[in-house]
Amino acid sequence: MNILMLGNNGFVGSVVQEKIKQNNNVYVVNENFDVTEKNETFNMLNRYVKEKNITCIINCIAMANLDDCEKEKELCKKINLEFVKCLCDFSVNKKIYLIHISSNAVYDGNNAPYSETDIKNPVNYYGKCKAEADDYINNKASNFAIVRPITIYGSKNKNDRHNPVTYFVEKLINNESIKLVDDNIVNMVHVKDFADAVSFIIDNKLTGEFNISGDVSESRYDLGVRICNVLDIDLSLIEKVSGKDFIMLAERPNNTSFNNSKMKIELKIKPRSLDRTIMDVGCEYRNK
């Protein structure tokens, strides 16, 4: 399959790209790509489709900082909703298989674990835009997959942004104290499990919605305790706090953990060990 990836910058996109290019031709658009300029964007996409005979588009583009989305709602809407609607229409018109990356922010956090058929009820503006985009694709397209990862973790390259595991491990190994919330719960997914899921969906041309997560549902505080126990680090470095102790514009749902039964059965994904990854990341930082 000839695949066009939109916005694969950083930690997650690079791992997904490496995985899917094993069985596909992958082309990437990253730089000089402003999705708020619709005419330029879709003229460019049209050229790619014609020149490279694109049969699948993966949309990884998002404005994902929750507080920024509350401050800049118009920009958030343009990127997370309006662009997605146009991309969906474009894909339907060109008969292209659309893979859209969604978010656990579409859920309100009151009825975990969430399956693909559960009602979306977002509590912040980012989640509202993502949920509306998902619904639009569901109503307008047939040849699509909405892939919804929860918080993603794993080893990272030097210039990648931190994820919860790498950030907490680095801080704690360096004997730095950290405050961790105990009221925001997810079952994080390893980046390679997420990449495997996307790859399986594409290779088998699956359609519909897929919630992708690990098996361990815990708060950031619980994760910090786990890291200390696995790496034999002093627990007193961690202070338990509530999310309400921080000033944040966007409301955060309490527990958006997924029911990952569909992922395990249909995509044949067995989540990697969180403890094993913590040990590996700990070795990386201790050997620096």
Residue 146 near residue 106 (C-beta atoms within 8 A): no
Query: How far is the C-alpha of 206 from the C-alpha of 200, rounded, in Å?
Result: 8
Query: Do residue 144 and residue 240 come from a single domain?
Result: no
Q: If you average pLDDT over every residue of the chain, what do you get?
A: 95
The boundaries of the domain holding residue 234 are 154-185+217-257+272-286
Residue 147 near residue 201 (C-beta atoms within 8 A): yes
Query: Do residue 232 and residue 92 come from a single domain?
Result: no
What is the pLDDT averaged over residues 165-175?
Answer: 96
What is the pLDDT averaged over residues 239-255?
Answer: 92
Measured from the Cβ of residue 29, the count of other Cβ atoms closer than 10 Å reads 17
The pLDDT value given to residue 8: 75
Query: How far is the C-alpha of 177 from the C-alpha of 48, rounded, in Å?
Result: 49
Q: Is the pTM of this model over 0.75?
A: yes
CATH number, domain of 51, equals 3.40.50.720
Give the pLDDT band of residue 192 (cuts 50, 70, 90): very high
What is the pLDDT averaged over residues 162-184?
Answer: 96
Query: Do residue 145 and residue 245 come from a single domain?
Result: no
The pLDDT value given to residue 245: 85
Residues 178, 181, 187, 192: is their CA dihedral positive or negative? Answer: negative
Q: What percent of the chain has pLDDT over 70?
A: 99
Q: What percent of the chain has pLDDT over 90?
A: 88
Higher pLDDT, 237 or 157: 237
Query: Do residue 55 and residue 96 come from a single domain?
Result: yes
Query: Do residue 20 and residue 132 come from a single domain?
Result: yes
**Res. 116: pLDDT tops 70:** yes
Residue 245 DSSP class: G
Q: Which of 8-12, 87-91, 141-145, 273-277 has the lowest mean pLDDT?
A: 8-12
Query: Do residue 170 and residue 83 come from a single domain?
Result: no
**Res. 33: pLDDT tops 90:** no
The pLDDT value given to residue 78: 97
The answer to the question of residue 115 being in a domain is yes
Query: Do residue 250 and residue 129 come from a single domain?
Result: no
Query: How far is the C-alpha of 196 from the C-alpha of 203, rounded, in Å?
Result: 10
The total of structural domains in the chain comes to 2
Supply the DSSP string of 138-158, one letter for each residue.
HHH-SSEEEEEE-SEE----T
What is the pLDDT averaged over residues 166-186?
Answer: 96
